[in-house]
Structure 1
Amino acid sequence: MRTLITLVVLIVALFAALFGGTKWSDATWTPKLALDLEGGTQLILAPKTEDNASVSRETIQQAIEVIRQRVDSSGVAEAEITSQGGSNIVVALPGKPSEATLDLVRTSAQMEFRPVLTYADPTPTATDGATADPSDPSATGAPDADATISPDGLATSEPTDGATAENSSASSDAVFSNAVSTGDDAVIRDAAATDDPTAEPSPSASAGTDGSATGPESPSDINYYVTEDVLQRFNELDCTDPKNLTGGDTADPDTALVTCDPTGTIKYILGPVEITGDHISNATSGIGVNSQGVSTGQWVVNLSFDGTGTDEFKTVTTRLQGLQSPQNQFAIVLDGLVISAPSLSPGTIIADGKAEISGSFNRESATTLANQLKFGALPISFDVQSEEQISATLGSEQLEKGLIAGLIGLLLVVIYSLFQYRALGFVTVLSLVIAAVLTYGVITLLSWTQGYRLSLPGVAGLIVAIGITADSFIVYFERIRDELREGRTLVAAVDRGWERARRTILASDAVNFLAAIVLYFLAVGSVRGFAFTLGLTTLLDLLIVFVFTHPVMLLIAKTKFFGSGHPLSGLDPRRLGATGGTRYVGRGRVATGRRDADPEDGGLSTENPLVATTVAGGTIAERRAAARAAAQGTAPHDAASHDTAPTDTPTDGSTPAERTEGND
């Protein structure tokens, strides 16, 4: 009973949340529909460059990935983003997208190189009212000066061991180094350096003669760029929230930038822009080689700059090589998010504009980073060729047909349940109703909180779920019937049947859920909607069976109608082949009587004792004869000896004759 109350509370809480959302937020009582059922807005974007250079397919694909990152992180689900003729980009957004979402699609993505000032774990940083010192890595949650960032974004006290990274995002264990040997790099210095070790240091560029601040010492000047406002935004930033991963940031290039990496595993404070992506001349991926031309066996990304970029990069590397971690890292920012933040190899000054980014790369991650860099090398803006409302590709008619198909399937399941299980079938019907209510509530809640949209493949997943749910009930009911055939009482059959059915139901739903997960991650487009609803309804099926169907069976087993085996209950022992309570129990033994509710003592009832008759060493025919004799209340007759077969000796010391007389 307590379990059923818990289920009621859960359903009430679910719809109470929806009610509150309709009153004080933008929730609705119906789930949002996807593009194929509702229609939406379609934009056709034509890429263009400043010098009208041709745009490669790889660049178009990278632009699509940038737009998809923006759209998905903004909470819009079931959007379709494709290329048209290998040149234009078609973006179809379901429903009525907000103007902010449309701006994210229209805005061009830019690549920038900014110095890393500090970083921390992605969650908001608790300051307890105190102002953290950004120059102290421990104050912001950043690793200490000797630490590196492992591929999963967590700080470690030891350098990485070269394990393969899943992607290139925030690959802070990567390092810049010279792609081509330029001789003794130690002789290349910053133009501001002095050869006289005894010379007095020049006055700080960030302070005037009266001590007032006039400007930063360098783009890595933490005291200048990390203001109280910047630090507060950094402490409050939560990179685990997808809304903070939309990109499209148009921050002032001369100020600090607070941002995340695209995977939401780390957050950064970055200095001003030092190099823009249009100064990249080329970027490729491949197996690295050392200065002798020998392959290192590790995947690397080779990066080269144009003339202006070469001079700027030399200035940057000259400054960074004298700084401690994390200020010796240089962030590559695409669309306002840090796609990689490699550190500079100690003592390295890159004067020829040719650099190599090495680290925990595999072939896929290295290729991805190279494509991102090439995308930044060709700054693309988009002309909106058309922006129009589109009708649903399938529409309400197809949705109506899908719902009718689901209702027909549900009706067939109900008819079969009532025909096969009679009154017990109403438990199936009621369980399906509860499952439908929960599924509708959960999908509507996800539409409000997560932007989920129901597509026609998703509706198909809901229809398939009817069969999955009904299958669980059939397994349970048939297990109960098996126990009744064994002569147990209904209460004992429900308990024992649940123990046996539970394992089967868990195994079946585990297979369905695993299939849904694999399909969700391997499929693309609207097929993922089918996988999502299939996985969701599988979990709800387990919930219904455990917290509703089984508790209800425990309750009705104690009622007179079901407990006495009424012919209309669906649990009549005679209809199940258990007439007279006689059954074959193995090894030539047949038993009469009924099982008790306690399966621990073998199910023997003290009020109606079990009588077992043994045909020692008998044939199958003799055993069947013994079963018939037991059903008629007489002892089996042995054709060879005409003797009464021995019976089990009871513990009360009575003789076989006394037992026979007592049974008669």
Structure 2
Amino acid sequence: MATDTRRSRPVRTIVLLTILTILLPFGALLAGWQLDGKSSDNPDGASLAPGLALDLQGGTQVLLKAVTSDGSEITPEAMEEAIGVIRQRVDANGVTEAEIASQGNNQIVVEIPGEVDDETVALISKAAQMKFRPVLTIGNPTPTTQPSASPSASASADGEGDGAQADGADAEQDAPVGGQLTKDEIAEQQKAVEAATDPSDLAQITPSVQARFDELDCTDPKNLEGGGGDRPDLPLVTCDATGAAKYVLGPVEVDGTAISSASSGLRSGANGTVTNEWAVQLDLDSEGTKLFRESTQRLNTLESPRNQFAITLDGLVISAPSLSPGVVITDGRPEISGSFTQQSAATLANQLNFGSLPLTFQVDGQNQISATLGSEQLQRGLFAGLIGLALVVVYSLFQYRTLGLLTVASLVVAAAMTYVVIALLSWGIGYRLSLPGVAGLIVAIGFTADSFIVYFERIRDELRDGRSLRLAVQRGWVRARRTIYAAKAVNLLSAVILYFMTVGGVRGFAFTLGLTTIIDVMVVIWFTHPVMELLAKVPFFRDGHKASGLSPDRIEVTPRYRGAGRISAPSAATSDAPDHGTPEPERELVTAQSVTPAPRTADDGRRMTIAERRAAERKAAAGSAEATQQAQNEEKH
């Protein structure tokens, strides 16, 4: 087996690992704690401790009651769509590990870790409103001008601008994208709408609307959060829900409540045959049929993109279909077709059905959730983890004597790296450690110790074959790392599948399991192996001291059967004599054949056949055994 001939620099590797994966991240966390520390005014700031999820920290429970203004029935599909909208709002607000579920026929329970302010409650309880607006213009998602410092600067979806905001009566509108409109801007837009000939008139794009459109950046996730709050009587500057484009839309022409039903299916062709194209069919009520007929009569005469109407949900465009040339929809049954898949068509149909309900949410209650149960379970989990860690340490010291301390040190390094990474993730992306996540960390103790055991056993195998510790470390690492990589790849694949195929707490378990698997590989490569290379130069380990865990009696150096009548044993050069710093060549195995080589030529000079050589080997072995017996008899006499 070939060994790695590259020059090894174990000290440099250990120093780089310490600096890059421990000191620098911890320094960044410490600086963040000093400059952007977590507080009541800054709940998303940095903290030296990882953020805890709802089950460990406690938090706030908000009970929302869905109501309809017309008394219509709330379907389970509408509740599921409402949960999806609320989850999007909560996640976009920087809250992680929140739990959102339906309760009964018309209630939604939202449980959020930590303290919840009034703004968050208002955000999640805001109605998700669907509207049909004419498209005035479409642009690329990136801004074309730099945002100004005026109140019209781009802002997040809840309507709170990044720049200075208008106060008092000036803050009269919460636009879903583009910040709050000032009183002057509202007056300017109202005047333009009143002077417009129809809702598709480009004169409605006032200077303030154009400025907002130019500055809007739909590649910024903050502008894709939704939230509604747009005024139906004014133009709207907003983004496509996927961030692919930005729009200026005219005033609302048809409200989502005019949709009686929406469904998806394969589109029918001109001759009644079913095609392979998926489409969404709408059924409007009488008022919606009238309004939509008037709208399509006008849109049909306009150029692109003004022949399109946009469907907005929560203030974002979810679809903007155009009318086919010469088509006027008079029966209140429009069909939306395009590059739909079965899934995307069904999703749009569900959204349209949800938007057909005048659905709003009332805050039915707000309670504080205690973490008593989670804290108790955490204590038990940590106790179980300490027991497991103690057993790993005891086993390592018993099995490997002093060498077992390297296992302990590697576990300490892995724990430090894991702690710093989780703390940074808590600060950077709002990650919160849940009870299943803690379980993943505990399970990782055994997985991490596995890597060291595989490595040490490979080293022992090489020592049994008569090699020096230096060569055993080199060759053992080449053999061990393939096994380690294969095992960790399986662990990581399992974690990835769990994370993407599950929800809730199981994802927390999968995340920490995958994270610790990556850290485990980093530690065994950049810490355990380099330290082992250094220990191979220490006489205590190199010479096989009894307490080192590498002594001949601990690794059971005995001759081993190699097959085909051969045995192997360490060569005579494999002794406990100290190495005085001279390079030691790789030692070859000594076999029975090399001690008493069998002849390969007969007495007459010809080459012996295989059968003749084996017969000669047996004769030589018998002669050796007879000589040994004779020598023993002479010693007795």
TM-score range, shorter chain: 0.7 to 0.9
Q: Secondary structure at the match of 1:387?
A: strand
Does the 8 Å CA contact 1:637/1:644 hold for their aligned counterparts? no
TM-score after normalising by structure 1: 0.74
Aligned to 1:97: 116
* Aligned counterparts of 1:224 and 1:465: Cα–Cα separation in 2: 61
Q: How big is the shift at 1:414?
A: 0.9
CA 1:304–1:496 in structure 2 vs 1: closer, same or farther (change >3 Å)? Answer: same
Write the deviation string for residues 78-110 of structure 1: whole angstroms up to 9, x where unpaired.
Answer: 111111112211111111123322111111110
Q: Which residue of 2 aligns with 1:539?
A: 518
Q: 1:404 to 1:608 in 2, by over 3 A?
A: closer
1:463 is matched with which residue: 438, 442, 459? 442
Residues 1:576 and 1:377: Cα distance change in structure 2 (over 3 Å): same
**Residue in 1 that maps onto 2:163:** none
- SS state at 1:46 partner: strand
Q: Which residue is 1:56 aligned to? A: 75
**1:551 maps onto 2:530 in alignment:** yes
Cα offset for 1:484? 1.6
2:352 is equivalent to residue 373 of structure 1: yes
**Letter aligned with residue 431 of structure 2:** Y
Cα offset, 1:231, TM superposition: 4.6
Task: State the match for 1:34 in structure 2.
Answer: 53
Which of 219-228 and 5-14 deviates more?
219-228
CA distance in 2, matches of 1:595, 1:299: 76
Report the Cα distance in structure 2 between the residues aligned to 1:240 and 1:511, rounded to whole angstroms.
36
**Which residue matches 1:17?**
28
Change beyond 3 A, Cα 1:591–1:296: same
Q: 1:406 to 1:316 in 2, by over 3 A?
A: same
CA distance in structure 1 between the aligned counterparts of 2:586 and 2:58, rounded to whole angstroms: 70
Q: In the alignment, is residue 414 of structure 1 matched against residue 393 of structure 2?
A: yes
Partner Cα distance (2:511, 2:266) in 1: 39
Counterpart code for 1:72: D
Give 1:377 deviation, angstroms: 0.9
Distance 1:457 1:443 in 2: 14
Letter in 2 for 1:2: R
1:2 aligns with 2:21: no
Check the 8 A contact 1:234/1:269 in 2, yes or no.
no
Instruction: Deviation per CA, 1:29-83: give whole Å up to 9, x if none.
Output: 2122222122211122211111222211111121111111111222211111111
Could you tell me how far apart the structure 1 residues matched to 2:331 and 2:554 are?
Answer: 91
CA contact (8 A) 1:591 1:613 kept: no
Q: Which residue of 2 aligns with 1:137?
A: none
Kindly tell me: are residues 437 and 291 of structure 1, through their superposed partners in 2, closer, same or farther at Cα, counting changes over 3 Å?
Answer: same
CA distance in 2, matches of 1:296, 1:311: 29
Quick one: distance in 1 between partners of 2:543 and 2:52?
A: 50
What residue number does 2:3 align with?
none
Whole-angstrom distance in 2 between the partners of 1:4 and 1:319: 72
Q: 1:494: which partner in 2?
A: 473
Equivalent position amino acid for 1:77 in 2: T
Residues in 2 aligned to 1:109 and 1:541: alpha-carbon distance in whole angstroms: 45
Question: For 1:333, which of 272, 291, 312 is the aligned residue?
Answer: 312
Q: 1:484 aligns with which of 463, 468, 473?
A: 463
Q: CA deviation at 1:299?
A: 2.5
CA distance in 2 between counterparts of 1:473 and 1:226 reads 69
Percent identical among aligned pairs is: 55
C-alpha displacement of 1:639 = 4.3
Distance 1:595 1:467 in 2: 34
Letter matched to residue 562 of structure 1: F
| Residues in 2 aligned to 1:608 and 1:374: alpha-carbon distance in whole angstroms | 78
Q: Give per-residue Cα distances to partners, 1:87-136, cap 9 Å, x unaligned.
A: 211111111123322111111110122334555665x4465899xxxxxx
User: Which aligned pairs between 1:290-439 and structure 2 lie closer than 5 A?
Assistant: 290-392=269-371, 394-439=373-418
1:454 maps to which residue? 433
Work out the CA distance in 1 between the residues paired with 2:325 and 2:552. Answer: 84
1:239 alignment partner in structure 2: 219
Q: Distance in 2 between matches of 1:407 and 1:591?
A: 42
- 1:82 equivalent in structure 2: 101
2:73 counterpart SS class: coil
Name the SS for the 1:31 alignment partner.
coil
**Conserved 8 A contact 1:284-1:303:** yes
Q: Secondary structure at the match of 1:370?
A: helix
- What are the Cα deviations for residues 325-359 of structure 1, in whole angstroms up to 9, with x where unaligned? 54443322111222223233334332322111123
Give distance in 2, aligned partners of 1:64 and 1:610: 70
Which secondary structure state, in structure 1, belongs to the residue aligned with residue 555 of structure 2?
coil
Asked if structure 1 preserves the Cα contact closer than 8 Å seen for 2:259 and 2:288, the reply is yes
Q: Which amino acid aligns with 2:513?
A: L
Asked whether the 8 Å contact 2:557–2:570 carries over to 1, the reply is no
CA distance in 1, matches of 2:276, 2:564: 68
Q: Distance in 2 between matches of 1:541 and 1:233?
A: 49
Q: Aligned partners of 1:384, 1:532: CA distance in 2, in Å?
A: 33
Match of 1:68 in 2: 87
SS in structure 2 of the partner of residue 614 of structure 1: helix
Higher-helix-fraction structure: 2
Q: Among residues 126, 129, 138, which one is paired with 1:107 in the alignment?
A: 126
Other structure's SS at 2:533 match: helix
Which is worse superposed, 540-549 or 357-366? 357-366
Matched letter for residue 312 of structure 1? L
Given that 1:71 and 1:246 are in contact with CA atoms closer than 8 Å, whether structure 2 keeps it comes out as: no
Give the match's secondary structure for 1:385: strand
Aligned residue type for 2:29: L
Structure 1 distance, partners of 2:214, 2:474, is 57
Q: What SS does the aligned partner of 1:58 have? A: helix
Cα 1:45–1:129 change in 2 (3 A) is closer
Match 2:453 to one of 474, 477, 497: 474
CA gap of 1:637–1:592, structure 2 versus 1, over 3 A, is farther
Change (3 A) 1:230 1:18: farther
**How far 1:230 sits from its partner (Å)?**
4.7
Q: Which runs of 5+ in 2 are unaligned?
A: 1-10, 37-44, 149-188, 576-582, 599-615, 626-637
In 2, the alpha carbon distance for the partners of 1:540 and 1:261 equals 39
CA drift at 1:20: 2.2
Distance 1:2 1:126 in 2: 49
Give the aligned length: 538
SS where residue 53 of structure 1 aligns?
Answer: coil
Q: Which amino acid aligns with 1:565?
A: G
Aligned partners of 2:617, 2:197: CA distance in 1, in Å?
A: 111
Contact 1:588–1:617, Cα closer than 8 Å, also in 2: no
| Contact 2:466–2:569 (CA under 8 A) maintained in structure 1 | no
Q: What are the superposed Cα offsets for residues 378-426 of structure 1, whole Å, 9 maximum, x if unpaired?
A: 1211122111212126232221111111111111111111111111111
Are the structure 2 counterparts of residues 119 and 490 from structure 1 closer, same or farther at C-alpha, using a change threshold of 3 Å? farther
TM-align CA RMSD: 3.3
Q: 2:145 and 2:564 mapped to 1: Cα distance?
A: 75
Structure 1 counterpart of 2:64, from 45, 50, 62: 45
Question: Partner of 1:629 in structure 2?
Answer: none
For 1:239 and 1:473, locate their aligned partners in 2 and report how far apart those are by CA, in whole Å: 45
Which residue type is aligned with residue 64 of structure 1? I
Partner residue, 1:162: none
TM-score, L = length of structure 2: 0.77
Q: Quote how far apart the aligned CAs of 1:606 are.
A: 5.4
Offset from partner CA, 1:608-658 (integer Å, 9 cap, x none): 77655528999xxxxxxxxxxxxxxxxx9854686679xxxxxxxxxxxxx
Q: Give distance in 2, aligned partners of 1:319 and 1:221.
A: 11
- Whether the 8 Å contact between 1:457 and 1:527 is mirrored in structure 2 is yes
